[in-house]
Amino acid sequence: MTNTAILAASALLLFAYLLDIFGRRFRLPAVVLLIVAGIVLRQALDSSGVHLRWIDPIVPVLGTLGLILIVLEGALDLNVSRDRTRLMLRSAASALLGFAVTAAVFTALFRFGLGLAVPVAALAAIPFAVISSAVAIPSATGLAEAPREFVIYESSLSDIIGVLVFYAWLAADGSLSAFALDLFGGGGLSLAAAAIAAVALYYLINRVAGHVRFLPLLAGLICLYAVGKHLHLSPLIMVLGCGLLLNNPHLIGWNARLRSLHSADYDHTLREFKSIVVELTFATKSFFFLLLGYWTDLSQMTSGLAWALAAAVVATIYATRWVLLQVLRQPDRAQLLWIAPRGLITVLLILTAVHSGQLDAFPFGAVMLVVLVTSAVTALAQRRSG
């Protein structure tokens, strides 16, 4: 049994690597290829009478780890400077306004289309309003520097806003006062915790030594995420803050004591740390989407309700994004219009809502259809523009 598990894990990872090469060669969406491969794998195993019961608890765990690593990887590629202030403000405005507008439209859609109560409809709408950094960031690699950084900032902030709002709304149980207290109180504490965590990680990476250096740092960051989640904070802010500070140590240059932490071989150490993060992100993301495809019940994706709901959601996503990019007068908006995928975070939040007992009857097939369609549109748009 142990040898079979090792063989299966290594074979799946090699298969995911080959799919990634194939996807980059023909500019096909790796996420869609992985999910479809997982669906095909399930059909093959089901026909052979093999059922993998252990997948159910693993999918959310892998998704959370993948989300942490993806946001960290994206933040480690961002450069913060005064000449980028306008870009950062525009991407933040796009993330915030895009989330608010689409969440409001989706709430109305689920309220009148599915007959859900307003609090439940809002809970279902929030995950669909989040742009997936897991899909958007890799898809932006072929863009010029300015639009690529816009996508990284926008999708990372969209993830953070979505998680913060979702858990505040989930805990509020329909109470607007409780929601506001949890959202703004938790957001302020999250920013303070992010500043402390970023400086601590910067200190440690400048003092790290020995053969085992980076995995303990990543384990500590994941531990901080879990603690922040338990305290109803937004731990992705900590992850984003740590990545931004590591790649932009000049942000603390105003303080002589903090500036003295910078070691002579910091740049080399940071390159090694980035390399480890990229490798782990690829492995975690690959396993997640493969297992997500296997875990998905194909019959849920064939219902008329799922297709109708998915079509309405996808149309809303691109219609509101077109209006928003026009209002913000964002350069390269012809390319950026199609980079609005839903993915890992949407699936995780919907699963959390379902497990909470507040969203039992929502058609999960629509979720998977939205993820597949928006991911495919993102990849195909990049293929055409390239």
Q: What topology does CATH give the domain 62-385?
A: Na+/H+ antiporter like fold (1.20.1530)
Q: How confident is the model at residue 99 (pLDDT cuts 50, 70, 90)?
A: very high
Mean pLDDT score of the chain: 83
Output the pLDDT for position 253.
76
- Helix/strand/coil for 341: coil
Tokens of 163: 């998680």
Output the pLDDT for position 50.
67
| Residue 76: pLDDT over 80 | yes
> DSSP readout, 26-70?
HT--HHHHHHHHHHHHHHHHHHTT---TTHHHHHHHHHHHHHHHH
By C-alpha distance, which of 11, 171, 103 is closest to 346? 103
| Residue 368: pLDDT over 80 | yes
In the chain, where are the structural domains located?
Answer: 62-385
Q: How confident is the model at residue 145 (pLDDT cuts 50, 70, 90)?
A: confident
Q: With beta carbons less than 8 A apart as the criterion, state whether 247 and 79 touch.
A: yes
N-terminal to C-terminal alpha carbon distance within the chain? 46
Output the pLDDT for position 168.
82
| Residue 110: pLDDT over 90 | yes
Output the pLDDT for position 386.
54
Output the pLDDT for position 258.
76
Residue range 228-243, pLDDT digits in tens: 877 777 787 888 888 8
Residue range 5-60, pLDDT digits in tens: 788 778 888 888 888 888 777 777 777 888 888 888 888 877 777 666 667 678 77
Percent of the chain with pLDDT over 70: 95
Q: Please tell me which residue, 173 or 149, carries the higher pLDDT value.
A: 149
